[in-house]
A = this chain, B = another copy of it.
């Protein structure tokens, strides 16, 4: 194999969603020759939005300059704080300018966008926040995983598994990714058909839209004020 010492950097920040990270982290760590780094501002444990704390493996300063994959998970308030944090956004902009693949899941695409990395690209996000991508010059696409040149963005939370398997296929070929899929026993059987606003009961969609309205409003103003 041509490259057997590649680096993937997965950004950690307080208030991120752990499942956004751990789906892709499982897949990437199964790729032989891929060093998977969990990079954060410090090595202190990162408290995620569901209450589980995860340890970074390196600081942003220690992160390799040349990355095969830069990955940003999503969240809600914590994601907006990451966008407003100059050091974090500068890191994403810097590594993203040279990474072979610039990627995200869920509202992580808002961080990529705020760092100027999605201007003129098709991209996706959590369905709640997808239209916000227009504020950072991206074209919102209603698909689970969106490839546009070297930008790869996934939808909300659980889309991370589909995203990462798709990227594994690009990096190591279909058979390799299929082997990971079988190891992960990824033959999903959702107990309900309620995973998108198109499928869910309208009352359920409305409830989540109402619940997340304050976040969306804040996200709008944060993205308009993003420093990069």
Contacts and interface: CB of A to CB of B under 8 A. Distances in A.
Size category of the A interface is: 35 or more
Contacts of A225: none
Given A189-B162, A190-B162, A190-B188, A54 B51 contact: no
A165 B192 contact: yes
Nearest to A23: B19
A158 interface: yes
B165 A182 contact: no
A200 B177 CA distance: 11
Interface of A: 17-19, 22-23, 25-26, 29-30, 36, 38, 45, 50-55, 57, 106, 126-127, 144-145, 155-159, 161-162, 165-166, 169, 174-175, 177-179, 181-197, 199-201, 204-205, 207-208
Given A17-B26, A26-B157, A187 B178 contact: no
Number of copies of chain A assembled together: 2
Contacts of A199: 187
Contact of A50 (B26, B127, B181): B26
Nearest to A196: B187
A192 B201 contact: no
Nearest to A157: B184
